């Protein structure tokens, strides 16, 4: 669970709710508008279905969940594991790594170790893993693009709802006492669009982009380590090489 994401949403929603309810519960009720929510959320989702293939849209919910549930391993832990495997392979041979596969939860790392066990050359292992990492990166880019498009469509549909409300209000000006309420209701759509875009979708897209880059860097670290194991390099040399993926302040944490 990503604590920063939860804290961010709690703080943002709390501040907005506090502002909406500043004049009491009646003030909060002014922002409850079913048609506006339907046009903004439903319209944005409809535009996404037009913009992207259905195969991508079906993964939208999983993409949103990644902002809350996805956890990237610490690079120092991965380096320590690679060094452990390198020591084992150096002492007992590459086939000894097969007993470690059951403890590997990352399919990417497990596939790399399996390729090493199967006897593929270091260059072949690198080519296969780099291709898989690049395809994974492209999938993440599509998810980020969908969230960005939702952040673009939501304010537009909020404006559409506002225009609908204004047309309905202006079509009936016989009772001036209702103009204020009609104008307020029309502007709720604009509020919903701005809220969905700037509090939900665009921050999610930004975090997904950062995580995608972190994950791709982790894949590069794994590839270098796995290829080094296949090449029979000394564990100490592998460790020094992989430290290049770490900031200077973190390199000292790598186990000796």
Helix (H, G, I), strand (E, B) or coil at 247: coil
Q: What is the pTM of this model?
A: 0.81
- Tokens standing for 172? 């009936």
Task: Yes or no: say if 5 and 68 are a contact pair by the CB < 8 Å rule.
Answer: yes
What pLDDT sits at residue 255? Answer: 53
Q: What is the pLDDT of residues 177-207, one digit of tens each?
A: 667 777 877 889 999 999 999 999 999 999 9
Helix (H, G, I), strand (E, B) or coil at 49: helix
Q: Which helix (H) or strand (E) holds 36?
A: helix 34-37
What pLDDT sits at residue 201? Answer: 94
**How many Å apart are CA 138 and CA 183, to the nearest integer?**
44
Concatenated DSSP letters for 15-76? Answer: HHHHHHTTT-HHHHHTT--HHHHIIIIIHHHHHHHHHS-HHHHTTHHHHHHHHHH--PPPHH
Angle at 219 between CA 217 and CA 222, to 5 degrees: 115
What pLDDT sits at residue 224? Answer: 95
**How many Å apart are CA 114 and CA 98, to the nearest integer?**
7
**How many Å apart are CA 183 and CA 244, to the nearest integer?**
59
Low-confidence ranges of the chain (pLDDT < 70): 1, 175, 177-178, 253-256
What pLDDT sits at residue 253? Answer: 64
Q: What is the pLDDT of residues 24-59, one digit of tens each?
A: 777 788 888 888 999 999 999 999 999 999 999 999
What pLDDT sits at residue 71? Answer: 75
């Amino acid at each position: 669970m990503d604590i920063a994401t939860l804290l961010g949403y709690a703080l943002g929603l709390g501040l907005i709710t506090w502002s909406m309810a500043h004049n009491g519960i009646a003030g909060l009720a002014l922002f409850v508008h079913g048609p506006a929510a339907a046009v903004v959320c439903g319209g944005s989702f409809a535009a996404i279905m037009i913009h992207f293939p259905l195969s991508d849209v079906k993964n939208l919910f999983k993409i949103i969940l990644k902002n809350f549930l996805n956890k990237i391993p610490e690079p120092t832990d991965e380096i320590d594991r690679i060094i452990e495997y390198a020591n084992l392979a150096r002492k007992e041979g590459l086939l000894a790594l097969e007993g470690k596969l059951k403890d590997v939860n990352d399919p990417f790392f497990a596939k790399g170790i399996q390729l090493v066990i199967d006897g593929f050359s270091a260059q072949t292992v690198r080519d296969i893993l780099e291709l898989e990492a690049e395809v994974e990166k492209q999938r993440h880019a599509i998810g980020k693009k969908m969230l960005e498009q939702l952040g673009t469509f939501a304010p537009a549909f909020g404006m559409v709802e506002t225009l609908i409300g204004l047309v309905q209000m202006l079509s009936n000006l016989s009772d001036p006492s209702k103009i204020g309420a009609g104008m307020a209701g029309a502007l709720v759509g604009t509020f919903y669009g701005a809220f969905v875009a700037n509090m939900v979708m665009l921050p999610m897209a930004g975090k997904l982009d950062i995580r995608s880059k972190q994950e791709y860097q982790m894949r590069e670290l794994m590839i270098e380590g796995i290829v080094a194991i296949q090449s029979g390099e000394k564990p100490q040399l592998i460790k020094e090489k992989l430290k290049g993926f770490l900031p200077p302040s973190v390199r000292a944490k790598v186990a000796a």
